[in-house]
Chains A and B, each alone.
Chain A
Amino acid sequence: MRIEKAILVFWKDWREIRRNWQIILPIVIVPLMISVVLPILLTVISGLAVTEGDSFSEFLPLIENLPNNIQMQFAGFTDQQVMIYVMAVYFFAPFFLIIPLMTSSVIASDSFAGEKERRTIEALLATPISDGELFFGKMLVSFIPSMLITVVSFMVYTIVFDVVAISLFNGMLLLPNLDWILMIFGLAPTIALASIGLTIIISAKVKGFREAQQISVILLIPILSLVFGQVTGAIIFGPIIILTLIGLFVVLDFVVFRIGLMLFKREEILTKLA
């Protein structure tokens, strides 16, 4: 494996992706929604809810579902503070995982299925770059930008909430905390890798970018079940849960990459051009 060849492929793909609004649009808008629009909306709504009084009562059962040790954290908070605190620190966390999942799968679909679809793959396969170098380069281009976006989104999200918190919580900062650090730097990469691996497998079997994208949506299911789990109080994010998830995803990464590498054979890619 010559790493410089993988990096060559990485830069080539990155150049192409940068100029493709079909890719850039989703990987910029979704993180922007989750890290900026959602927090601002929450702050505004929580302000309104508190003045009107009744909306907050609908929110109460969700809080009552939370375990006692968490409920203790906001003893003495006002209703608005509780709502913002719980949302920012707990309920939005799984939503955030959509960012590494989606960005990496959008890029990987384009890099693997898209290149097949646009018929540019044959000349690439004709070069003296090995299968492994190609695979690794394309993996890098799916992984690095999506992790950058995730980390930047996390920083933005943290800043937005801390700005809100400074005025609302008398100078107390909400984020970052250990859970979030573990999530962004431990769980997000493993999720991104699983999503890339799965997209590669799907790309080997489908005609083009769109199809690969549509099928990759199934990856949202585990994430949405996390959201649901939290809302019902069944799963509460904490270091133990996050570490367990990291473990599970590492295993999943291993499995999907083994399969992905098996399917990533020059001959297969070229002769299965639909």
Chain B
Amino acid sequence: MTPIIKANELTKTFGSYIAVNHLTFEVREGEVLGLLGPNGAGKTTTIRMLACLISPSEGSAIVAGNKIGENPLVVRQTVGILTETPSLYERLTALENMDFFAKAYNLLDDHKRSERIKELLIFFSLWERRNDKVVTFSKGMKQKLAIARALVHKPPILLLDEPTAGLDPESSKEVRDLMKTLSQQEKYTILLCTHHLKDAEKLCNRVMIINKGKSVITGTLDELRNKINGQIIIQVALKKINSKMVEAAKKVDGVKRVDVDKPASMLKILVNDAELTTPLIVKNIVDSKGLVLSVNVLRPSLEEVYLKLIKEDSK
């Protein structure tokens, strides 16, 4: 896949403070790249540079074929940005906000513009409230309207800065599903900044973790798991546990350790490859007269990967 964003040694300093430190990465056309990192890692600053809101102190980036800084108006036209704060005019209605930004993004044909706005507001379930001032909207509604605004000119690239921040579980799921639709059905390329690792896990093709302005790692979730030697745990819940069953589990090739959780009546078996070992473990336990109630494979979550990598990086 061809890269649609190519950042090369992107750097931003504020005074003597280096907020973004020689970041090199690419976002491929049609993918969702998650940008993860602790507070102050430089995520927002990176997005702002890509949207031509601030200029890099060093390095450069090419966004949809245009070098940032060389033709900022064209770059801004090709990206849709969700800023960290919704950045909406609260005294204007939803429709007035959309209309202003649509015109600002050069949707000049009256008919096409109002059709596009209607389509988006309906999609985001805000059509009924279109004539209400934004000040009366809930946080989730504002966030949805801000995302609608980012989409109004059908930009090929979306830069989303914490789209689910501060939303209740229901609204966050709604926004998450929406991003999924945008990426899978509408084929937007999305750069997604988030602290919600579950969101990243569900949405991103690849993630990049940054810390103190520097890239820690970039890759698919599986690649990241491998990087930290993440271990897989198979949990086998049994009606009753005896030592014969523990021995039976230990005998299987590839099993590294077997822990017994008596109160839960459960075996926790560390393995490298779940696919290979799980059937054999279950077979051996059943052969030794164990009554298996459930089998559960636990892979390291993105959260574990993230925490471990950030911890290592900070050392």
Contacts and interface: CB of A to CB of B under 8 A. Distances in A.
Interface in B78-94: 81, 83-85, 87-92
A119 interface: yes
Given A5-B104, A270-B48, A123 B91 contact: no
Given A16-B89, A16-B91, A119-B87, A267 B55 contact: yes
Given A122-B53, A127-B105, A128-B73, A271 B14 contact: yes
A197 B164 CA distance: 40
A205 interface: no
Contact of B101 (A5, A121, A127): A127
A267 B89 contact: no
Contact of A8 (B53, B83, B104): B104
Contact of B92 (A15, A122, A126, A130): A15
Interface in B56-92: 72-74, 76-77, 81, 83-85, 87-92
A12 B83 contact: no
B68 to A, nearest CB: 12
A267 B77 CA distance: 18
Contacts of A19: 91, 133
A200 to B, nearest CB: 20
Interface in A95-133: 118-130
Given A126-B53, A129-B104, A119 B14 contact: no
Contacts of B103: 8
A232 B222 CA distance: 85
B91 A126 contact: no
B96 interface: yes
A122 B82 CA distance: 10
A20 interface: yes
B15 to A, nearest CB: 10
Contacts of B41: none
Interface of A: 5, 8, 12, 15-16, 19-20, 118-130, 266-267, 270-271
Nearest 4 CB-CB pairings of A with B = A123-B87, A127-B104, A128-B73, A128-B76
28 contacts: A5-B104, A8-B100, A8-B104, A12-B100, A16-B91, A16-B92, A19-B133, A119-B87, A120-B88, A122-B87, A123-B81, A123-B87, A123-B88, A123-B149, A125-B53, A126-B53, A126-B76, A127-B101, A127-B104, A128-B72, A128-B76, A128-B105, A130-B73, A266-B53, A267-B54, A267-B55, A270-B54, A271-B14
